Structure 1
Amino acid sequence: MNRTDRLLAIVLELQGRKIVRAEELAARFETSVRTIYRDMQALSEANVPIVGAPGQGYSLMEGYFLPPLSFSASEAVTLLLGAEFVQKKLEPNYGIHAESSKAKLEAVLPEQVRHEAEQVRATMRLLTSRKEDGSKHERENMEVLRRAMLDRRKIRFHYAKTTGPVPQRDSTRVAAPYGLVHVQGVWMLVAACELRREIRHFRLSRMSGLEETTDSYEFPPDFNLEAYRPQDDRDMEVILLADHGIADRVRESHFYYIDTFEEDHPEGLRVKLRIRRMEEILSWVLGWGAGVIVLEPEALRSRVLEEAEKLLKRY
């Protein structure tokens, strides 16, 4: 990165954060602290209102913003594809803003850059399944959750939990919503559940009767959604053997419970999964038919056999 680009990047970094230490900037741009000191001096001489606090770091004077930036074709495509993702994956209110953002961005791009960006975008397409496209219920829940999180209000909802062949169990929950996570095409709510008295995860598609309550909550000062990793309680190990003919499809399934693959096994692809209950993977295993064999545990082999016998009786 040349010095001009680094100076611009430093201003952007300062604009996005309240205060930044010289050591952080040196690590960010892979240079020395002394070079950062010289860069700060150059920015000050260029009338960029930088405030330096000894022992704390640098910040921009409040109210200072960069003039409109120019974008390369690649940067423009990145932003336009991001806006398209928001349109397809988030609730309608954000979809409207994403559409207006795309229009504004396209309007300010130079003709040459806009033409090049259109050419690149024509080679890419963001597809969603019919299930995702038609998930009006999920998007409506997302809108309620967004308001509740902004208002710091608890929510109340009915939650349906499916456990394989057992009928759905409905329960009424009150929770403090902490954030939304998109995992393998599914939107999950991370929230402090009053019923379980701990942080739990809820699929938006299984939540009904969702409403914002009048009770407020305090966001935990030590909770960071970006850094949060749920405790993994999948303590049951399962070993499967997949025929060579479907090995690639099993790999590409990206099934949540898959832990590791044993490559180049002479009899097929050995797959290790970690689960909490057998019901979590029973349907998935059965879906591969005779192409997948359960090696361990014996209890799961028995369950698969039971289900196969039931199928035989039905047909």
Structure 2
Amino acid sequence: MDYSEVSRLSRLTAILVQFQTKRIITATELSEKFQVSKRTIYRDVKALENAGIPILTDEGKGYTLMEGYNLPPVMFSEKQANALILAEQLVLNSKDASFVKDYSEAIDKIKSILRFSIKDKANLLADRTRYNQVINQERNSNNLSDLQNALTNYNLVKIEYINKENSITTRLIEPFAILNSENWYLVAWCRLRKEFRFFRPDRIQKMEILSEKFEPHNMTLQEYFDKYH
């Protein structure tokens, strides 16, 4: 097998990984990522289809995998596994309990698909880099995971919020973005104030994710900062 064949095989495998990580992906995105022409991407997608991968073309949007089709688990390299284990330490520093719980469960699932030799090394690394004071530190909120879900599903959220003057108000908010700078912050459209506001999850006294949907705010985070800051 010559270099060009190895290179193409590597690219086909990498394209499969992209299909696992994004619901819809365009030929332009793939060509830019792999530094090849769109014509080459078209040939690669055709090759994957011929190999039995059920790739659907959504006209005007891009490619997507048939719903319900699952590719075999991605095999992480040793360095990639190590990076994920070390990233766990950053997550363990989070002050939100739900975020720590969800990430830790995700790491356990990732470990379950690692090859035995890499799994043993990953567990060794985790044991040697984990600090009790980080694991056991006090968490001041437990709602970040639900807020993330509301953000991605455009669910209206009802909260009882206490501000820095200790005044409590009931708000209906439309989650837009989640930021971190020492504390977690939620950027949301507040229907009471009729403007975007910053909310600290640890100041939310009660929270209810409503079934009612809101219209998505069609702008990027950078566009938000450019417009409002």
Give the TM bin, normalised by the shorter chain: 0.7 to 0.9
Q: Which moved more, 1:213-222 or 1:75-84?
A: 213-222
Task: Tell me the equivalent position of 2:207.
Answer: 211
Which residue identity does 1:20 align to in structure 2? I
Task: Tell me the equivalent position of 1:103.
Answer: 108
Instruction: Determine which structure has greater relative contact order: mean sequence separation of CA pairs < 8 Å that are 6+ residues apart, divided by chain length.
Output: 2
8 Å contact 1:86–1:98 — kept in the other structure?
yes
Percent identical among aligned pairs is 29
Which residue identity does 2:137 align to in structure 1? D
Task: Tell me the equivalent position of 1:64.
Answer: 69
Q: Which moved more, 1:184-193 or 1:109-118?
A: 109-118
Which residue identity does 1:175 align to in structure 2? L
* Equivalent of 1:157 in 156, 160, 166: 160
Superposition deviation, residue 31 in structure 1: 0.9
Task: Tell me the equivalent position of 2:178.
Answer: 181
Which residue identity does 1:69 align to in structure 2? V
Instruction: State the number of aligned residues.
Output: 223
8 Å contact 2:85–2:125 — kept in the other structure?
no
Q: TM-score, structure 1 length as denominator?
A: 0.56
Query: CA separation in 1, counterparts of 2:179 and 2:79?
Result: 25
Query: CA separation in 1, counterparts of 2:177 and 2:58?
Result: 36
What stretches of structure 1 of length at least 5 have no aligned partner? 162-167, 234-315
Task: Tell me the equivalent position of 1:199.
Answer: 196
8 Å contact 2:156–2:210 — kept in the other structure?
yes
Q: Which string of whole-angstrom CA distances, capped at 9 and with x for unpartnered residues, describes residues 21-61 of structure 1?
A: 32221112111122212212321232222234666543323
What stretches of structure 2 of length at least 5 have no aligned partner? 1-5
- Indicate yes or no: 2:94 matched with 1:80: no
Q: Which moved more, 1:75-84 or 1:210-219?
A: 210-219
Q: Which string of whole-angstrom CA distances, capped at 9 and with x for unpartnered residues, describes residues 98-124 of structure 1?
A: 333333333432232234435655675
3-state SS of the aligned residue for 1:156? strand
Query: CA separation in 2, counterparts of 1:213 and 1:10?
Result: 36
Report the CA distance shift for 1:65/1:221 in structure 2 as closer, same or farther (over 3 A).
same
Superposition deviation, residue 188 in structure 1: 0.7
Task: Tell me the equivalent position of 2:3.
Answer: none
Task: Tell me the equivalent position of 1:267.
Answer: none
8 Å contact 1:144–1:211 — kept in the other structure?
no
Task: Tell me the equivalent position of 1:20.
Answer: 25
Query: CA separation in 2, counterparts of 1:3 and 1:122?
Result: 39
Which residue identity does 1:134 align to in structure 2? E
* CA-based RMSD: 3.7
8 Å contact 2:99–2:144 — kept in the other structure?
no
Task: Tell me the equivalent position of 2:142.
Answer: 140
Bigger Rg over Cα: 1
Matches within 5 A, 1:1-315: 2-52=7-57, 57-89=62-94, 91-118=96-123, 121=126, 124=129, 133-136=137-140, 139-142=141-144, 145=147, 152-161=155-164, 168=165, 170=167, 172-179=169-176, 181-205=178-202, 207-212=203-208, 216-225=212-221, 228-229=224-225, 231=227
Superposition deviation, residue 218 in structure 1: 0.7
